[in-house]
A = this chain, B = another copy of it.
Amino acid sequence: MFTQRFLKDKRGVNLAPSERAALENAISDVRQVPARTILLRAGQPVNASTLLVEGIMSRYIDDRNGLRQLVAVHVPGDFVDLHAFPLKVLEHDVATMTASTVAIIPHAALEDVLSEFPAMNRKLWFATLIDAAIHRAWLFRMGRLDAVGKVAHFLCETNARMVSAGLSDGRRFALDLTQADLAEICGLTTVHINRVLRQLRDEGLCVFRASVVELLDPERLSRRGQFDDGYLYNERAASAVSML
């Protein structure tokens, strides 16, 4: 089941088994994609969307000087460019960060699924709105946190999402990114990311090394990054927002 992790563990939505099966059937192709491969370019018409099965993907916007800003990082279970289904054109690129397995769902097939299961409309909509909520958390991170806070926030978020995907035990997970990747995610330079990571290590908060992230002190790390998992709408979230 390639769609197993999609919308798993999200408050307020559950795909019925029949719905999940229909989605699974809509998959036209499952592909292995090497690391650092662009799947979609800004401005191209899109007629299929990508469900991430294994690996890490990114969405990013290029600036004029050849630098880029990541606007999203995706973990297994994410429907990476579902928003292209209503939009039809995206204003950013979509690429793999690590070697990935992706399931391709043509928009025409998705259309058929939705006419058979109209209730899924709302659920897919919901899924894209969680991405938007993550965008907002990133805006907060970029605007209000210092460098150490930014990295702390990102690692807490990724940990929480990996927990939902069943890929983190809550303290430790595989994340095969480089320090340059973290720089593009946090809007910092690679050199400075290096110093921030050392600081996080020295303070006993977190270790990022050899493709593994380990939160040494999740509690203090969350506080350092002002991280509150409410915006992820996870089933068992710790935050005040989600207590309601």
Task: Report how many residues on chain A are interfacial, defined by Cβ distance under 8 Å.
Answer: 53
Asked if B140 contacts A69 (CB within 8 A), the reply is yes
Asked if B43 contacts A240 (CB within 8 A), the reply is yes
Q: Which of B64, B128, B231 is the one whose CB lies under 8 Å from A132?
A: B128
Q: Tell me the minimal C-beta distance from A38 to chain B in angstroms.
A: 16
Asked if B139 contacts A86 (CB within 8 A), the reply is no
Residues of chain B lying within 8 A (CB to CB) of residue A87 = 12, 126, 129, 133, 233
A210 to B42, CA, bound (A): 38
Q: Which residue of B lies closest to A185 (CB)?
A: B143
* A83 lies within 8 A of chain B by Cβ: yes
Asked if A86 contacts B143 (CB within 8 A), the reply is no
| Per-residue B-contact encoding for A128-161, CB less than 8 Å = 1, 0 else | 1101110111111011110000000000000000
Residues of chain B lying within 8 A (CB to CB) of residue A136 = 59, 61, 71-72, 91-92, 135
* A34 lies within 8 A of chain B by Cβ: no
Asked if A44 contacts B187 (CB within 8 A), the reply is no
* A45 lies within 8 A of chain B by Cβ: yes
Residues of chain B lying within 8 A (CB to CB) of residue A42 = 230, 241
Q: Which of B45, B69, B86, B145 is the one whose CB lies under 8 Å from A129?
A: B86
Q: Which residue of B lies closest to A142 (CB)?
A: B142
| Per-residue B-contact encoding for A216-244, CB less than 8 Å = 1, 0 else | 00000000001010110100000011111
What are 25 A-B contacts defined by CB distance under 8 Å? A12-B87, A42-B241, A43-B230, A43-B240, A43-B241, A43-B243, A61-B144, A83-B129, A86-B125, A86-B129, A87-B129, A87-B133, A87-B233, A89-B242, A89-B244, A91-B133, A91-B136, A132-B135, A135-B136, A135-B139, A138-B139, A139-B139, A142-B142, A143-B187, A144-B187
> Which 6 A-B pairs rank lowest in CB-CB distance, beginning with the nearest?
A143-B187, A135-B135, A142-B142, A132-B132, A69-B143, A91-B231
